[in-house]
Amino acid sequence: MPKQEYYQKLFFIGAIWNWVATTTLIFGYKILFPLFGMVLPVYPVFFLMFLGLCFVFGIGYFWVSQDLGKNHGIVKMGIIGKLLVFVGLLWAGITGQIHFILIGAGIVDLVFSILYIEFLRTYENRE
């Protein structure tokens, strides 16, 4: 598969990952949190705003998939965001704040961030 097609699919899959993960949590956190032994947020607005921002990042990844030569700033922000999510989930898992299985979502974000870094190092920016 040519590199351009690979990167288009990478960012499209990244967009879908963000959309599915956030939508699942937005509509299912009241079921999922107790299932994982977690307390529901006292002020869910902050949790939901975070998920909304993650959903918007998915829109950004979709834009990148449509034109790989532009929107590299979105990719850079995505790398930072995904690394923060990984570190946050890892820390929360180690300290017992979340069920350890949820660190898996952070690992997925870590993998995406590594692949996005590789993209920035090899793909020409036309902005």
Q: Which sequence spans correspond to the domains of the chain? A: 3-122
Q: Are 120 and 72 in contact (CB under 8 A)?
A: yes
Q: Over its length of 127 residues, how does the chain's per-residue pLDDT go in tens digits?
A: 579 999 999 999 999 999 999 999 999 999 999 999 999 999 999 999 999 999 999 999 999 999 999 999 999 999 999 999 999 999 999 999 999 999 999 999 999 999 999 999 998 776 5
The pTM of this model reads 0.91
Buried b (16+ CB within 10 A) or exposed e, 27-62: eebeeebeeeeeeeeeeeeebeeebeebbebbebbb
DSSP letters spanning 23-77: HHHHHHHHHHHHHTT-PPPSSHHHHHHHHHHHHHHHHHHHHHHH-TTS-HHHHHH
For the stretch 76-110, pLDDT in tens is: 999 999 999 999 999 999 999 999 999 999 999 99
